[in-house]
């Protein structure tokens, strides 16, 4: 639903030995927020067992990582 954000503790959802996600596994849907360090996008997983699941992805500006 639009406007509803669910916060989860990812430590309960990430399991050891599972394949790490990379940006190619996601479809960018829209910008949720923007700040001085980067942007947060609403994304949909397009590969893997959780395909179709919605996530928030934070993308940091490269210059801020120095």
Q: Is 61 annotated as a binding residue?
A: no
Contact predicate 25/48, CB 8 Å: yes
For residue 8, which phi and psi values (nearest 5 degrees)? Answer: -130, 155
Dist CA 8 CA 52 (whole Å): 18
Residue stretches of the annotated binding site for ATP: 58
The binding site consists of: 58
């Amino acid at each position: 639903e639009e406007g509803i954000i669910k916060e989860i503790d990812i430590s309960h959802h990430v399991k050891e030995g599972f394949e790490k996600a990379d940006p190619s596994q996601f479809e960018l849907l829209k910008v949720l927020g923007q700040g001085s360090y980067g942007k947060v996008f609403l994304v949909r997983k397009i590969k893997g067992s959780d395909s179709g699941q919605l996530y928030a992805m934070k993308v940091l500006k490269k210059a801020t990582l120095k």
